[in-house]
Amino acid sequence: MIQFDNVTFQYEKANVPALSEITLKINQGEFVAVVGHNGSGKSTLAKHINGLIVPTSGTVTVCGLRTDNEDNLLKIRQNVGMAFQNPDNQLVTTVVEEDVAFGPENLGIAPDEIRLRVDEALASVGMSDYAKNAVHHLSGGQKQRIAIAGILALKPKILVLDEASAMLDPSGRTELLQTVRKLHAAGMTVIMVTQYMEETIDCDRIVVMKSGRIVLTGTPVEVFKETDLLSESNLVPPETVVIRDSLRKLGFKLSDSVLHADQLAEAICPLL
């Protein structure tokens, strides 16, 4: 679905590349989390997926289309929906359903089809009951779900979230993550950039970035074994993993597959 081949990217006037020799393949239906310290290149990577920026060297191919061919950009952007940090910057009208309809209306889609898409998109993000509500009365989490509904109404194959949960409170983050998981379960290919390691536990794969390079990639179980590499990348594993590893240091035997709080509880109980 998405292929980065030896991608290096340097911003104009920058002294060092923001991305260096990135090779990454993301399959259809995969849920990939991208983590890394501030400035490690996560947003730069995300922007390559819909051709907002193109590699200085190397190639990015999305749905079989190269991003460095301008003729492909419209098609690529129809396939890739992007959600960003601030939901207020992504909402354009005052009423929820109008906002979700905004994208399809701009594409000149027929009103009947728009109605269907808006209803379906609002249902996908669990916001059907809010169709007629005022956007500015919604919580941050709800706004972000409306922003995602607006993306879904354009029927993308790929959803890229660039720290979309960063400005939300814990319950907003939970709502958003549940929505994203549901979309993934329904077949969406998801790339989720996040600063919250807890959010990555259920992903198919985690990509860890440091100074513009991928330093580690693997399943959550594989990645959260690499304690040293994570701390070298200035990343703190989820709290459950921190507790798991502290108990291990005290001599308790806990398996690498313990990632969730309930798994941890289940593993600890017999030890007590």
At its nearest, how many Å lie between ligand ADP and the CB of residue 62? 18
When asked if residue 43 is in the footprint of Mg ion (CB under 5 A), the reply is yes
Between 42 and 244, name the residue whose CB sits nearer to Mg ion: 42
* 126 Cβ contact partners less than 8 Å away, ≥ 6 residues apart: 145, 175, 178, 179
At its nearest, how many Å lie between ligand ADP and the CB of residue 148? 20
Each as own residue / partner, the long-range contacts of residues 118-124 (CB below 8 Å, 24 or more positions apart, any chain) are 118/149, 118/153, 120/152, 120/153, 121/149, 121/150, 121/152, 121/153, 122/96, 122/97, 122/149, 124/149, 124/152, 124/179, 124/182, 124/183, 124/186
When asked if residue 44 is in the footprint of ligand ADP (CB under 6 A), the reply is yes
* 10 Cβ contact partners less than 8 Å away, ≥ 6 residues apart: 16, 17, 18, 56
41 binds, among Mg ion, ligand ADP, none (CB under 5 to 8 A by kind): ligand ADP
- Say if residues 191 and 2 touch (Cβ distance below 8 Å): yes
Residues 1-30 as x/- pattern, contact with ligand ADP by CB under 6 A: ----------x--x---x------------
When asked if residue 194 is in the footprint of Mg ion (CB under 5 A), the reply is no
When asked if residue 110 is in the footprint of ligand ADP (CB under 6 A), the reply is no
At its nearest, how many Å lie between Mg ion and the CB of residue 124? 25
Neighbour order of strands in the sheet with 213-218: 80-83, 158-162, 189-193, 31-36, 205-210, 213-218
When asked if residue 43 is in the footprint of ligand ADP (CB under 6 A), the reply is yes
Nearest residue to the partner Mg ion, using Cβ: 43
> Site for ligand ADP (CB under 6 A): how many residues?
11
When asked if residue 50 is in the footprint of ligand ADP (CB under 6 A), the reply is no
38 binds, among ligand ADP, Mg ion, none (CB under 5 to 8 A by kind): ligand ADP
What residues make contact with ligand ADP under the rule CB under 6 A? Answer: 11, 14, 18, 36, 38-44
